[in-house]
Amino acid sequence: MLSIWAVEGIPEIREGDDLIRIIGDGVAGTLEDGDILAVTSKIVSKAEGRFVKAADREDAITAESVRVVATRGKTRIVENKLGLVLAAAGVDSSNTPEGFVLLLPEDPDASARALASALRERFGVTVGVIVTDTLGRPWREGQADAAIGAAGIRVLDDLRGTTDASGRQLEATIGAIADEIASAADLVKGKSGGLPVAVVRGLAHVVGDLDLPGARSLVRSSEADMFRLGTTEAWDEGYAAGLHARS
């Protein structure tokens, strides 16, 4: 049976706080083998001091971007330094000191691995950790939480080569388990309830070694991405290529 609950008592996180100890204290006496913690990226970033002084948030977005995917008005969808494609490069100006913005964790997989390792050592249980962030989704309205960091879990469930209930072979089905867990956990964490950590129980079959591939493996390569650019950007790129070919 799957059960998910938010961890009570996590205080407002500030730069330099011992997040591993704080989360550990919050879940003390409750964890079991196979549990998965979903941790909102904002508290990871705050503890790691990912604040950047920025009079103009747009400048901070530009600095964190490696490629513009699409623009519409002031909104920019970009690829950031983590390889994530998202709005505003993940730069957050909400609930931050005046004149500062908050960047995503520098290495969310490493952050997840440190937390998972410490919890395993402290409590003697095999747990997984997911670092989550809210992303928009192509073709769909609204946003949902997804995994940007992970440790100790299988982030993908490759069902290719297996058969469905009718005996037909599956050829393209790869479940994004880590993203599904992140979205499910957000149902109890919420966006404004001050509950940045949730425990997910009932998925022990996806929990494993700490050296399993992290959430970075969820990022689709440019070679496999059929929608790498927005409409305007693709047109501009094609037009420029055409001019170059005629010169």
CATH number at residue 83: 3.90.1660.10
- Cβ of 176: how many Cβ atoms within 10 Å? 16
2: in domain = no
73: in domain = yes
121: in domain = yes
124: in domain = yes
Q: Please check whether residues 88 and 166 belong to one and the same domain.
A: no
47: nearest Cα among 22, 80, 27: 22
Q: Please check whether residues 162 and 237 belong to one and the same domain.
A: yes
Residue owning tokens 């069902």 = 159
Q: Please check whether residues 224 and 189 belong to one and the same domain.
A: yes
Q: Please check whether residues 87 and 134 belong to one and the same domain.
A: no
Q: Please check whether residues 43 and 143 belong to one and the same domain.
A: yes
pLDDT band at 90 (very low <50, low <70, confident <90, very high): very high
Q: Please check whether residues 179 and 237 belong to one and the same domain.
A: yes
pLDDT band at 88 (very low <50, low <70, confident <90, very high): very high
Residue owning tokens 């964790």 = 105
Q: Report pTM.
A: 0.92
- The span from the CA of 44 to the CA of 133, in Å, is 11
120-135: pLDDT as tens digits: 999 999 999 999 999 9
CATH number at residue 195: 3.30.1330.100
pLDDT for the residue numbered 221 = 87
The parent domain of residue 87 ranges over 51-103
Tell me the one-letter amino acid at 69.
V
141: in domain = yes
Q: Please check whether residues 35 and 97 belong to one and the same domain.
A: no
Q: Please check whether residues 75 and 143 belong to one and the same domain.
A: no
pLDDT band at 153 (very low <50, low <70, confident <90, very high): very high
6: in domain = no
Q: What percent of the chain has pLDDT over 90?
A: 70
218-227: pLDDT as tens digits: 999 888 888 8
- Compute the average pLDDT of residues 151-168: 88
34: in domain = yes
18: in domain = yes
Which of 59, 77, 103 terminates a domain? The answer is 103
Q: Is the pLDDT of residue 41 over 90?
A: yes
**Cβ atoms of 85 and 33 closer than 8 Å:** no
43-55: pLDDT as tens digits: 999 999 999 988 7
DSSP summary character for residue 202 = S
Which of 59, 80, 103 terminates a domain? The answer is 103
List the beta bridge partners of residue 80.
65
- Compute the average pLDDT of residues 141-163: 93
Q: Please check whether residues 84 and 192 belong to one and the same domain.
A: no
Count of structural domains within the chain: 2
pLDDT for the residue numbered 81 = 94
